[in-house]
Structure 1
Amino acid sequence: MMPTLSVFDENNMASDYKNVVLKQLEERNKLFDKFSELINSHSSLYESNKELKKANLQYKVDIEKVKDENQDLCNKVQTGVSVAERSEQFTALEQKLFKVQEELTEVHRTKGARAQQIIDLNLALQEKEKEASSNIDVVCAKDEMITALKAQVSSMEQELNDLKQANQTVNDEYQALNITYLAIEEKLKKCQLENRNLIERWMNLKHVEAQALNTENNQFKRTTSTKAVSLETQSETSQSATRRDSASSPQASPSAQSSLSPPVAVTLKQRFSDFFSGRSLRHPDDEIHSGHALGYASTHSSAIVCLPQEAVSKWAAHENEVTATRFSLSGGRLATGGSDRLIHLWTFAGDKSRLQYTLRGCNGGVTSIDFDPQEQCLAAGCNDYSTKVFSLITQRLKVCLTGHNGKVLSSRFLGSQVRLASGGSDRTVKVWDLKTGGCTRTFMAGSSCNEIVAVDSADCLASGHFDRKIRVWDIRAGSHAVNEIDVSGRVTSLDMPLDKTSMICCTKDHTLELVDLRKASVLKVFSDDSFRVATDQTRCAFSTDGRYVCGLSSDGSVLSWDVDTGSLATCTREHNDPVISCCWIGGRLVTGDKNKQCILWSDS
């Protein structure tokens, strides 16, 4: 089929070329028809001038003849011609000469007019020649343009053929992947069915085991109660004997006095009753100490804030840039995302990081990470124009939210597991319902959205934009921003403390700005000579207690400021590359740089 199609295309191109040449000839004929009348008039004037020259020459010959005749007459007069004859001849000659002079004058007048016409026609001819030359240049330019367009058409046709082949290949791959997906889905259904059967069997076995354990516990209770009764009887017998002995001998020995302590059976019975009632024998403080040993700290507790002064742990978290870091709300897990399209979840044994598992499914670099309040899902904004929601229970992709026309630069849960907000470079902010996977609201921000934070746990959110504005949105209100706050530079990141009354904003003007949401104004500006923001998505962080803010610099420095005094609290440099991501919760601060390194900080 392909050779036939090419011959058909060549025939079409040949016929198109002939039509173009024919049109060009017709345009040339139209152009030169304008000069035909001018050329014909020039030719006629030239012939007229030629004839006048001949007539002038003839008149000159006649004048010479008349002069000769006049000379002859004069000679005859001198030889004796009569006066009458001479006067008649002289009169005739004068009349003839007068007529000849009149004709000569007319000829000269006509010659001058003809000469002027020739000059005018020559000027017009020169103008027409210039116009013709300019038209020829235009025609040459058009020919070159036609040649270039033909080459472009041929390249476009080649590209179209390549795209058709690529499309066919993609379709074939899609069909193959669809078949594979159906097969894997069938296997998944079988595995789920087997899993349900195994769970049912496991539950039955647990039920049987529980019944056996209950039977053993009942037997143990009966045995212990029997032993307790016998011990009580023995103790009563011994006490009565002791009383009799003491009554008979007032001075009893110390060993006999020690037998007056509480019965052992009572203590054993109390311990067994505590065991079967499920009461814990461990001290309450043990649970607190064990919780801190595992690194879990509640975000609502008054944990001691750790200022970044010493790097206690440093590890390679990704293959290249660490673009996002986020602690879970309990602080027990750390999620990191990078431009390698992977999301790693880490736990800590003391100060050592351990990779728990990896989430895959992003088709572009990860730009932001957020945990839901129940820590069952994780949302990741990606450069593939989508937001991926993963289940932390199954460690698989749960929902893929598509609808943005640009990179998704921030995704945040809005106080619940089923509502999420996202913003991207397409200058929109979208609110999603994770039950249906659909977009419920779209706000047209008019500028690229680099960060989103939830102002409250219900219906209010704030977004930071490229046009140096922070916009506050109410999901229940209209499609316009409730409030707009101007800052000094384009916004790269936003963060809020637990009280939700203020906000820290990182700008590309190399400053951190403290914003009061109630007054919609900037309260303080934090800056330093060593503080330089590296990218448009460089993050900042508030400490858990709201007393300090953290900024990241392009020279690898991590800086923290005191919010109350506005002074620089710490400035340390452990990174060798620009630092772009951070997360601060409780007594833990983690930072990530553009060369795959993550650092866990603590006080020195």
Structure 2
Amino acid sequence: MQQNNNGYTAPIISTASQSFNSIASWKQSIVNQLNQRNTVQTNAFSEIIKVYNDLMKRERQLQERNTIYEKEILALRNEKRGEKGASTSSSSSGSVSNRGKTIEELENKIYKLQEDLTLSYKTSADNASSLLSLNDKNKDLQNEMVSKEIELERVRSMLTSSEDSYKRLEAIIEEKTTVTQILKDELSALQSEFLHNESKVIKLEQENSELLERWIRKKNEEASKMNEANDFYHKMVEQREQFVHIKNDDININNISTMDVDAEIQNGRNLLDKQLNMTSSLLPSKSRKKFAAHQSEVYCLAFNSNGQMFASGSSDKSVKLWDALSCTHKTTLLGASQSIMSVNFSPNDEHILGTSNDNSARLWNVELGRPRHTLTGHIGKVYTGKFMLGSDKVVTGSHDRTIKLWDLQKGYCNRTIFCFSSCNDLVTLNTGSLIASGHVDHSVRFWDCNSGESVRVLEAIHEGQITSICQSLDPNLILTNSRDHTLKIIDVRTYLTLKTFKDQDYRNGLNWSRASWSPDGKYVAAGSIDGSICVWNALSGKTEKIISKVHNIGSSICCCAWSPLGYSFISGDKDKNIVQWE
């Protein structure tokens, strides 16, 4: 507030303070406009208002003085009337003459005061007319101020839209920066691959020559065995010719052949039994090897088709490949800028698909260890991805409530399915023509890949969001895992729940916890929030085994997987560890 010399106070906002210089420029502009409005609309009339207030004050003083004089005149008149009725002496007449003069002077004063009062009334009338004109001007200024406020509101709305546009452009710049960083990472990976390419070629040539030498040695050994077989055949023919001349001997070459054939059949049966025993799925019982695989949580695991290699994905933004037998590290696949949520090998084991929280999926070449495609198009975290029929098509599910089908030969999305809820996991059925997806809204949805239409929706099949879906050896059965701490087997022909697995010690603690089905279809397994692994009998639905005290207590099991041949079982947890079981 600023005090004027005339006593009138006008609201002025200070522009000299340090706080004024620290606010935004558009706010400074508004403050300057308000100060200018006060100068034009208020301070310009302060002198008139002061004069008017002085005149009103003077008028009140004159009225008070006039009232006093009127009372004095009235008292003098009364006194004069009393003196006229009485007889007075000459001295009294002189006193009356003096009083008459006093009255005349007072009347003159009254006359002057009345003139002043008349002039004051006239001035008041002029001031009143001036005040009316000032009121009219004030109304005009108020109307102008309203229009200015409307204009100011319009400018504010424009400023808000400009800020929204600015934020949108910032988001686009950030996205472009992320894409640029991704491209830089890919370029770095390609450069590092190029630097090691010559050494790999030399190594491959050495391995090729070694394999060629081994192949030659093998052929020589086979030729030697063939020569021994020919020698044995000739000896047998000679013995048969000799036995023909012995009449009393019951044993002949035919009996010998039959005995040899029976022995070979028995050996074949034993070998077949051994092979059958080897292909039965391993029921994990104790830890064979436990090791820290990543720098952060292990979110996903997957074997290749022959079970000789497995891949792990982590929140440290990397995918690592491991030897399935020795658990030795083979290579690290880089390029993602956020956590890896799922991994999947192609049917021919040449490529591996990894989905990430950076809203994209990546395809790496397994042999070379370098990225082949980066699939961008989702606007949310990509939680899952699977290869479809063949190795040239993949399907991904995302938090943005869409499922996308990708053509890897062309490198772009050829179909987007809107699935109405965040997709946590999916699996391809019927040789890739059908997709089953599990969602946050507790439902399982089935989609036709050719038309993109929904085939069936199993609503609220669980009481919690579905964290994983996997397929058994029987293509008509799928296994679902949920945050309601249960697993269910669903028949995709009838859409009925065949089995429900639960245990008081099993608690699903993650939205992306992955369950696993053994290759022979006998067991299902899932990791619990307390670091234990629960294994159920898939046929009876009963708990087969609960394994604890191997993973760290309190460390949630994120994923587990059986080898396609069933001889190996692995699990990963939030404490960066992978455990191989026997």
TM > 0.5 fold call: yes
Q: What is the aligned partner in structure 1 of residue 505 from structure 2?
A: 530
Of residues 419, 432, 447, the one that matches 1:473 is 447
Does the Cα contact within 8 Å between 2:445 and 2:454 map onto a contact in 1? no
Q: Within the alignment, does 1:32 sit opposite 2:7 as a pair?
A: no
Distance 1:15 1:557, change over 3 A: closer
Does the Cα contact within 8 Å between 2:354 and 2:385 map onto a contact in 1? yes
Q: Within the alignment, does 1:464 sit opposite 2:438 as a pair?
A: yes
Distance in 1 of aligned mates of 2:581 and 2:25: 77
Q: Within the alignment, does 1:387 sit opposite 2:361 as a pair?
A: yes
Of residues 570, 580, 583, the one that matches 2:561 is 583
Which residue type is aligned with residue 601 of structure 1? W
After superposition, the CA RMSD in angstroms is: 5.8
Q: What is the aligned partner in structure 1 of residue 33 from structure 2?
A: 23
CA shift, 1:404, in A, is 2.1
Distance in 2 of aligned mates of 1:206 and 1:528: 55
CA shift, 1:21, in A, is 5.9
- Please list every run of 5 or more consecutive structure 2 residues that lacks an aligned counterpart in the other structure: 1-20, 93-109, 132-137, 139-144, 146-151, 258-263
Does the Cα contact within 8 Å between 2:531 and 2:556 map onto a contact in 1? yes
Of residues 302, 314, 319, the one that matches 1:338 is 314
Q: What is the aligned partner in structure 1 of residue 463 from structure 2?
A: 488
Does the Cα contact within 8 Å between 2:446 and 2:454 map onto a contact in 1? no
Q: Within the alignment, does 1:431 sit opposite 2:405 as a pair?
A: yes
Distance 1:38 1:598, change over 3 A: same
CA shift, 1:424, in A, is 2.1
Q: Within the alignment, does 1:366 sit opposite 2:376 as a pair?
A: no
Distance 1:33 1:445, change over 3 A: farther
Tell me the alpha carbon deviations over residues 500-545 of structure 1, each in whole angstroms, 9 at most, x when there is no partner: 3332222222222333433445455433332122211111122334
Report 1:132-281 matches (<5 A).
none
Tell me the alpha carbon deviations over residues 166-219 of structure 1, each in whole angstroms, 9 at most, x when there is no partner: 98xx89x9899979968986996x9999999x89x98xx989x99xx99xx8xx
Report 1:302-321 matches (<5 A).
303=280, 305-321=281-297
Report 1:319-334 matches (<5 A).
319-334=295-310
Distance in 2 of aligned mates of 1:179 and 1:558: 39
Of residues 537, 545, 552, the one that matches 2:527 is 552
Does the Cα contact within 8 Å between 2:189 and 2:335 map onto a contact in 1? no
Which residue type is aligned with residue 422 of structure 1? T
Distance 1:410 1:39, change over 3 A: same
Which residue type is aligned with residue 318 of structure 1? H
Distance in 2 of aligned mates of 1:530 and 1:466: 24
Q: What is the aligned partner in structure 2 of residue 74 from structure 1?
A: 85
Q: What is the aligned partner in structure 2 of residue 89 from structure 1?
A: none
SS at the partner of 1:66? helix
Of residues 567, 572, 576, the one that matches 1:596 is 576
- Please list every run of 5 or more consecutive structure 1 residues that lacks an aligned counterpart in the other structure: 1-10, 82-99, 122-127, 129-134, 136-141, 268-279, 298-302
Distance 1:289 1:386, change over 3 A: farther
Tell me the alpha carbon deviations over residues 285-330 of structure 1, each in whole angstroms, 9 at most, x when there is no partner: 797689789x7x4xxxxx2x43333334433333332211112233
Q: What is the aligned partner in structure 1 of residue 514 from structure 2?
A: 539
Q: What is the aligned partner in structure 1 of residue 11 from structure 2?
A: none
Bigger radius of gyration, 1 or 2?
A: 1
Does the Cα contact within 8 Å between 2:284 and 2:569 map onto a contact in 1? yes
Distance 1:348 1:24, change over 3 A: closer
Distance in 1 of aligned mates of 2:81 and 2:489: 125
SS at the partner of 1:28? helix
CA shift, 1:78, in A, is 11
Distance in 2 of aligned mates of 1:335 and 1:481: 33
Tell me the alpha carbon deviations over residues 256-277 of structure 1, each in whole angstroms, 9 at most, x when there is no partner: x9xx998xxxx9xxxxxxxxxx
Report 1:124-135 matches (<5 A).
none
Does the Cα contact within 8 Å between 1:333 and 1:346 map onto a contact in 2? yes
Does the Cα contact within 8 Å between 2:190 and 2:370 map onto a contact in 1? no
Does the Cα contact within 8 Å between 2:319 and 2:334 map onto a contact in 1? no
Tell me the alpha carbon deviations over residues 564-599 of structure 1, each in whole angstroms, 9 at most, x when there is no partner: 443322212122122110113434432111123223
Does the Cα contact within 8 Å between 1:341 and 1:360 map onto a contact in 2? no
Q: What is the aligned partner in structure 2 of residue 406 from structure 1?
A: 380
Distance in 2 of aligned mates of 1:592 and 1:53: 102
Distance 1:479 1:65, change over 3 A: farther
Equivalent residues, number = 481
CA shift, 1:549, in A, is 2.4
Distance 1:529 1:289, change over 3 A: closer
CA shift, 1:28, in A, is 1.6
Of residues 58, 64, 81, the one that matches 2:75 is 64
Does the Cα contact within 8 Å between 2:185 and 2:335 map onto a contact in 1? no
Of residues 385, 389, 394, the one that matches 1:415 is 389
Distance 1:31 1:502, change over 3 A: farther
CA shift, 1:58, in A, is 1.9
